[in-house]
Amino acid sequence: MELKERNILIWLSHIEGISNKDIEKLIKYFNTLDELWTADVRHIKNALGNRGIIIEKIIKNRNREFFSKVFKNIDKYVIECLTIYDENYPEKLRNIYDPPYVIYMKGNKEYLNIPLIAIVGARKCTAYGKWAAYQFSKELAQWGIGTISGLALGIDTNSHKGALDGTGNTVGVLGCGLDQCYPASNERLMSTMIENGCVLSEYPLGMPPLKHHFPARNRIISALSDGVIVIEASEKSGALITVEYALDQGKDIYALPGNINSLQSKGTNRLIRDGAKILLDIEDVIESLKYRYSISKKQIEKSTQEELSPLEKRVYEIIRRNPIHIDLLYNETRLHPWELNPILTILEIKGYIIQISGKTFTVPK
């Protein structure tokens, strides 16, 4: 592998503990980054100041053995690297504050250039939140619009699944190296995403999912998107960090209104109060994208079997047989009120059931 500037940058990103700010200082100090490979220690010290430990690690790993090991590992995991020196580096990222100097990616990088909407929210979300994330991403897919999120549990997971089930594309931004999946329970989902979209990270192979990585990766999610949908978020949710980045980047913010008594809707309701666009229908998002992209809706056949979860199907089949009072429904399903009530809400929103007098449920005629 040649010692050219982009490759030096990839090698540099593998130095343990190095930060974006360190890399920025080195790029500004040297005329070209390949000068770093032969530079005297005093020049590296001049560039990085009191970053003694990082300077030692740069010197220690400034050898062909470590350099070759980095690229052999990248080849082993079939990783594509995009650096800020490359022409095909995403333009949406190039001019943001603190851009990632290297992106590690698996999948098709062309999906970074299609219309993308970020769908973010709580890990510990409600059934309503899961449904909304899944349904909105699925509807976006039907318009040829991809979704981008963080592959976390809850809202992220359901937004990725909705896009895939809508025969669309989805992008995941990880807070760790691409040789691992976090959370591990999403490993199969991640593999499917690589085939029908892509996953990427600014962190090199071997980097664990450290706590401070997740707020940082949110700037990439918002930057690559054409707008951000917040499904559910508490007042201190990490999703609101994505919103802050998105506002700085000039992106539209959409928030799903929720129950004023729900902790998971405190953040979204506050966003609406503070000026975010209220999301009542996916058409609200589609209309804003029509000014920037040529998009049209695909013709996709609707199937009850595909649209409902196993538990939703079970409740629906009971109600479909005969109109049933909610108390009898609790007995027949053996579900607690806090388990059954969100399912009934979802089935009503989807149009599968209606509530008639006296808390009795039936199917529309």
**Chain position carrying tokens 């350099």:** 67
CB 90 within 8 A of CB 83: no
CB 227 within 8 A of CB 285: yes
d(CA 287, CA 166): 19
* Fold of the domain spanning 304-362: Arc Repressor Mutant, subunit A (1.10.10)
Please classify residue 227 by burial: count the beta carbons closer than 10 Å to its beta carbon, then call 0-12 exposed, 13-18 middle and 19+ buried: buried
Closest CA to 150 of 84, 79, 241, 235: 241
Helix, strand, coil: what percent of the chain each, to 5? 50, 10, 40
| Of 126, 122, 125, 114, residue with least CA distance to 150 | 122
DSSP-assigned states of every residue in 109-136: GGGGSS-EEEEE--SS--HHHHHHHHHH
Which residues 6+ apart lie within 8 Å of 247 measured at CB?
253
- β partners of residue 197: 170
- List, in order, residues 6 or more apart from 174 with CB less than 8 Å away: 150, 151, 181, 182, 199, 200, 201, 203, 209, 217
Beta strands in 279-342 (DSSP E): 324-325
CA distance 365 to 352: 10
Q: Three-state SS for 340?
A: helix
Domain spanning 109-289, CATH class: alpha beta
Nearest to 90 by CA among 202, 242, 250: 202
Measured distance CA(310)–CA(9) in Å, rounded: 49
Indicate the CATH number of 5-76 among 1.10.150, 3.90.25, 3.30.420, 1.20.120.
1.10.150
pLDDT of the chain along its 365 residues, tens only? 788 999 999 999 999 999 999 999 999 999 999 999 999 999 999 999 999 999 999 999 999 999 999 999 999 999 999 999 999 999 999 989 999 999 999 999 999 989 999 999 999 999 889 999 999 999 999 999 999 999 999 999 999 999 999 989 999 999 999 999 999 999 999 999 999 999 999 999 999 999 999 999 999 999 999 999 999 999 989 899 999 999 999 999 999 999 888 899 999 999 999 999 999 889 989 988 988 888 877 654 445 555 788 889 999 999 988 889 999 999 999 999 988 998 998 888 777 888 887 788 888 76
- The H or E element spanning position 202 is none
Alpha-carbon span 204 to 178, nearest angstrom: 7
User: CATH 3.40.50.450 in the chain, residues?
Assistant: 109-289
pLDDT at 306: 55
Q: Where in the chain is the domain with CATH 1.10.150?
A: 5-76
Decide if 119 contacts 138 (C-beta within 8 A): no
DSSP assignment of 63-122: SHHHHHHHHHHHHHTT-EEEETTSTTS-HHHHTSSS--SEEEEEE-GGGGSS-EEEEE--
Where are the domain boundaries for CATH 1.10.10 in the chain?
A: 304-362
- pLDDT (0 to 100) of residue 365: 65
Classify strands 354-356 and 360-362 as parallel, antiparallel or unpaired.
Answer: antiparallel
DSSP 36-65: GGT--HHHHHHHHTT-HHHHHHHHHT-SHH
Q: What is the pLDDT of residue 300?
A: 45
Write the CB contacts of 2 (distance below 8 Å, at least 6 apart in sequence): none
**pTM of the predicted structure, to 2 decimals:** 0.82
